[in-house]
Amino acid sequence: MGTEMGPEMGTGIGTEIETAIGTDMGTGIGAETGTAGGKWAPIDPRRRESEKIAGKSATYFQNAAYQFTRRKTATASLAAVALLVLAAVFGPMASKGSYDAQNLSHVSAPPMLRTYEVDGRHYYITANVKLAEVSQRGELMETLPRARDDSANKRFEYDVGGKSLYIDYSAPAPVLEDEAGNAVAAGRTFWNRLYPLGSDSLGRDIFTRLLYGARVSLAVAFIATLVNLVIGVLYGSVSGYAGGTLDIAMMRVVDIVSSIPLTLYVILIMVLFGNGGLSSIIIALGIVYWVSMARAVRGQILGLKGQDFVTAASTMGSSGWYILRKHLIPNAIGPITVTATMQIPSAIFTEAFMSFIGLGVTAPMASWGTMCNDALETLKTAPYQLAFPAAAICATMFAFNFIGDGLRDAFDPHMRK
């Protein structure tokens, strides 16, 4: 019975298999040759095109740049910093004078000149009670020579075109009078074309000194950033990746360096190297400013070195320096950039403060801090001398802070809105 059923069952099964194979092969051949129908028929080209991904996927930095440009304050601040850099580099070249050029005839000349009109000409009383003519374009000319000093009546006499004009300084505000003793009516108010932002107590152009002060502030800021990136990133990454006793020893060095105030560093450097001015601040910043960057980088490396890609690289035989350079530091570039940007306004304020208290740049070099210090003497009579450098410091610090906020939101997906 087994002999009779075996051939029949084998024959039936073989026939079914051959039939299935033949059908599939026929369908496949038909599909390959373009025959319509069958489950292996080609997909409709229109459907294939509709499911295709049209655009390229954005990279990490492209996505960060897109997120950064979405913040209007960050993009506006970046444009403002770019203009400040251009003004600091090329502005002094286009300026008429130098940061130390003095004109004692034009001391404390304000940006807006309130003049007196006599026979179609305009005259301005300077801060040191002298008479100066102002052109129709608003250019402040040299002061006129005094014809007589009537100290008994507290008047200065000037000979203007054959007429005598008097400056009465008996009152708190000097007044211009004619020969009959009548007050001359006030004329036009001109924008000071010679000193667009006014002059200081020594007759130096505030606008030109602001441009030179921007050079000093930006130089200090970018040098501090360079020190952060070179020393802080290397020190913090090595400390975080090595771990153990070496990490503890390196962090104790960081604690010691950060425990000493920056002002003391500047004073010690000035004692050792003399009154170095700007060089003392740069050296002091180089000693101290990498500390916070090292701590931030160490924290990032400690969080990254336990990841799987680091374990895989180590298993493949990559050296520690290769892992740091190719894997860990590039993955921490976002927090590194944000930390470096946030420390730029701090460096600018530190330089301004040191120069304000007399430990920064030396006279006659221009700095925003020294300009604020010089303006204290004339704060009541000429407040604009303090307003412009103080506004420059505040605007620059705000701009870099807004840029840092934008970079933080761009690199950190949890901070995006």
Give per-residue pLDDT as tens, 269-298.
Answer: 877 776 667 777 888 888 888 888 899 999
> Where residue 67 falls among pLDDT bands split at 50, 70, 90?
confident
* Whole-number average pLDDT of the chain: 82
Residues 311 and 178 in one domain: no
The domain that holds 133 is classified in CATH as: 2.40.128
Helix (H), strand (E) counts: the chain: 16, 9
CB atoms within 10 A of CB 27: 16
Is 266 a member of any domain?
Answer: yes
Both 284 and 410 in a single domain? yes
Between residues 83 and 62, which one has the greater pLDDT? 83
Quick one: 261 exposed, middle or buried, by C-beta within 10 A (0-12, 13-18, 19+)? exposed
Do 376 and 353 belong together in one domain? yes
CB atoms within 10 A of CB 213: 28
- Confidence category of residue 399, pLDDT binned at 50, 70, 90: very high
CATH number reported for the structural domain that contains residue 263 in this entry: 1.10.3720.10
Query: What residues contact residue 269 under an 8 Å CB cut-off, 6+ apart?
Result: 276, 280, 283, 284
Two tokens at 36? 């319509």
What's the rounded Cα separation, in Å, for the pair 209 and 95? 10
Residue 47 domain flag: no
Instruction: Give the pLDDT confidence score for residue 22 in this predicted structure.
Output: 46
Q: What is the pLDDT of residue 229?
A: 86
Confidence of residue 8 (pLDDT cuts 50, 70, 90): very low
Extract the tokens encoding 93.
């070249």
In a domain, 215, yes or no: yes
**Of 155-159, 270-274, 371-375, minimum mean pLDDT range:** 270-274
**pLDDT exceeding 70 applies to what percent of the chain?**
83
Q: Which residues pair with 177 in a beta bridge?
A: 166, 183
Same domain for 393 and 254: yes
Are 221 and 167 found together in one domain?
no
250 and 313 inside one domain: yes
78: pLDDT strictly greater than 80: yes
Whether residue 11 lies inside any domain: the answer is: no
Which residue, 191, 225, 240, sits at the end of a domain?
Answer: 191
pLDDT at 267: 80
Number of domains in the chain: 2
Cα separation, 227 vs 222, in Å, equals 9
- The answer as to whether 9 is a domain residue is no
Given this model, what pLDDT does residue 24 score?
A: 46
* From 26-40, 328-342, 376-390, the region with the lowest mean pLDDT: 26-40
Do 291 and 371 fall into the same domain? Answer: yes
Q: Is residue 75 part of a domain?
A: no
> Residue 135 sits in which domain range?
112-191
* Pair (213, 345) in one structural domain: yes
Domain boundary among 160, 191, 222: 191
Place 53 in a pLDDT band, splitting at 50, 70 and 90: low
Q: What percent of the chain has pLDDT over 90?
A: 26
Same domain, 283 and 388: yes
**Mean of pLDDT values over 158-165:** 85
Is residue 198 included in any domain, yes or no? no
Note the pLDDT tens digit of each residue in 174-231. 888 888 888 888 888 999 998 999 999 999 999 999 999 999 888 888 888 888 888 9
pTM for the complete prediction?
A: 0.78
Regarding whether 308 and 182 lie in a shared domain, the answer is no
Same domain, 211 and 332: yes
Contact call for residues 260 and 199 (beta carbons, < 8 A): no
- Regarding whether 179 and 297 lie in a shared domain, the answer is no
